[in-house]
Amino acid sequence: MQVTDGSGYIFGPHGLQVNGADGKPKVISGGGATPTGYYLQYLDEITQPLGAANVGQEVRFRTPDITNGISMVNDTKITFAHTGIYNLQFSFQFKNIDVQDHDVVVWLRKNGVDVLGSSGYVDVAASHGGVPGHIIVAWNYLLDVVGGDYYEIIWSGTSTDVTMEFYPAGSPPPSAASAILTVTQQSGIMAGTGMTALNGLSADVQTISTGTTGTDFNVISSGTDHQFNLPTASALTRGALSTTDWTTFNDKQTALVSGTNIKTINGGSILSSGNILLQTILISGTNIKTVNGTSLMGSGNINTNPRTLTSMNGTNLTGTANQISASYMIPANTLVTNNTIDIRSLLTKSAGSTTSTARMYINTTNSLTGATLIGTAGAMNAATYIQKFWRSFFYDGTNLCVYNPANGISSDITSGTLTSVPFNRTINNYLIFAVQNGTTTPDDLGHKRVIVMLYD
């Protein structure tokens, strides 16, 4: 676009212009070209000796010329700020002062790593007639660059007599640089046509990084970087699970199922709400009763004195035969010497017309046949429907000492002669309670209740 004000001056794309005599515009100010790509030109005006034979060393470029988007770092690193395809062109002035030829090798190194296939071998002629050998070496590389990459040019020689030589101005030539480097952008992302904006950032080379900032997943774009933040989850922060928390979750108890991984109490689940009352610790004398001062806790048997061997009901029977109404087996070895068996039987009948009789026997079988009589109750006449039949038997180690068994009387408390009945304690013995009615019906005498106590 051109702007004219009638004065003949024009504000054109190259600055302030004026039409020349040939009718073409001439730039008279502001004629600097607007950069349309990235480029660099450096040279070196100092002789670069070879530190050692056959050891690669970086070519140095210490004199800047023009640059845009490419920089020289530490005199050796050609550093690209922008992605693109670049042409790298160099020329090196070698000199050989030895009287024999020597080889030099030049190659490319990218980001500190030698580039395969980039080497070039050059023969530098020997000094001859007192004139050093000279050769200028030049070629180019086409580079596929990502912003941030850097390249170096490395060289080595078979002798330190070879130098990358700077020649001062002579007559007539001007000085000769030891090294010249030109880098120009070829294609790809040209200046001004690359990335224009990403999440508000306009740099054409941008980076992505990670972080944990914030209380939820977020992206922070600042400068040339887009930071993706995934914070660690907590009570107040939504985010990634930490390794520690993952381990905690992974170690959690699986679902609880009564009877599977939860015990039950008496078949009832202990899951759900509510309280389960448990017995407090049991302490004898505190919440456990004692017997004669002895704790009920622990194993084994506590012999009370007296103790009840049986408390049972007999059967009321009709008939005039002497019949078993009740019986109880005294297990072998129950009695020991000086024990006393106290027997109380409550005799009843629901009807009576004649006298009925009740007896106690002892036998080694539960049968009256061959049984030994050890007590006879008082005769129960027609009008007597209830009577207590009470006997005490002392065991002296051989016999049961009993009141005269044939003498019918309700108890042996105040009277009686003593009768000894042999008793073998080492076998089972049966106490047999018999009844006999005077007539067939309706008399029905029975040992309604029999209690056998053992006294130590």
Partner 1 sequence: MISTFTYNGIEYTITGPIEVIGDAQIHVETDKGIILVDDTMEVYKYLIQN
User: Which residues contact partner 1 (rule: CB under 8 A)?
Assistant: 320-322, 361, 364, 368-374, 405-406, 419-422, 436
Residue 189, C-beta contacts closer than 8 angstroms, at least 6 positions apart: 82, 83, 84, 195, 204
| DSSP structure class, residue 247 | H
CB of residue 288 to partner 1, shortest distance in Å = 46
Residue 409 CB, nearest approach to partner 1 (Å): 15
Q: How far is the CB of 338 from partner 1 (least distance, A)?
A: 20
User: Rounded CA gap, 65 and 19, in Å?
Assistant: 32
Query: In the complex with partner 1, which residue's Cβ is closer, 4 or 365?
Result: 365
Answer whether 415's CB lies under 8 Å from 349's CB. no
Give SS3 for 249.
helix
- Shortest Cβ 356–partner 1 spacing (Å): 13
Q: Which residues contact 382 (CB under 8 A, 6 or more apart)?
A: 352, 353, 354, 355
- Min. distance of Cβ 389 from partner 1 in angstroms? 17
Task: Please give the Cα distance from 305 to 63 (Å, whole number).
Answer: 123
**Distances 73 to 62, 143, 271, 360 between C-alpha atoms, Å:** 10, 18, 73, 128
| Residue 307 CB, nearest approach to partner 1 (Å) | 26
Cβ proximity to partner 1, 372 vs 410, nearer residue: 372
**Peptide bond preceding 49: is omega within 30 degrees of 0, i.e. cis?**
no
Residues 6+ away with beta carbon under 8 Å from 306: 342, 453, 454, 455, 456
**Cβ atoms of 391 and 405 closer than 8 Å:** no
| CB of 126 or CB of 401, closer to partner 1 | 401
Give just the sign of the alpha carbon dihedral 408, 410, 414, 419.
Answer: positive
Q: How far is the CB of 422 from partner 1 (least distance, A)?
A: 5
For the CB of residue 321, give the shortest distance to partner 1 in the complex, in Å: 5
Of 27 and 421, the one with the shorter C-beta distance to partner 1 is 421
- How far apart are CB 446 and partner 1 at their closest, in Å? 17
Name the minimum Å distance from CB 372 to partner 1: 4
Q: Which residue has the tokens 């000085």?
A: 175
Question: Which CB sits closer to partner 1, 78 or 374?
Answer: 374
Q: Which is closer to partner 1, CB of 19 or CB of 365? A: 365
Name the DSSP class of 251. Answer: T
Residue 97 or residue 421: which is nearer to partner 1 going by CB?
421
Query: For residue 358, what is the enclosing H or E element?
Result: strand 357-363
Considering beta carbons, is residue 330 or 374 the nearer one to partner 1? 374
Is 96 or 437 the residue whose CB approaches partner 1 more closely?
437
CB 386 within 8 Å of CB 358: no
State which residue, 374 or 380, has the beta carbon closest to partner 1. 374
Residues 6+ apart with CB under 8 A from 124: 94, 95, 96, 101, 102, 103, 104, 133, 134, 135, 157, 162
What is the spatial distance between Cα 84 and Cα 234, in angstroms, rounded to a whole number?
A: 44
- Which one, 170 or 422, has the nearer CB to partner 1? 422
- Quick one: tokens of 184? 């120009």
Could you tell me the sign of the dihedral formed by the alpha carbons of 261, 267, 272, 276, in that order? negative
Q: How far is the CB of 435 from partner 1 (least distance, A)?
A: 12
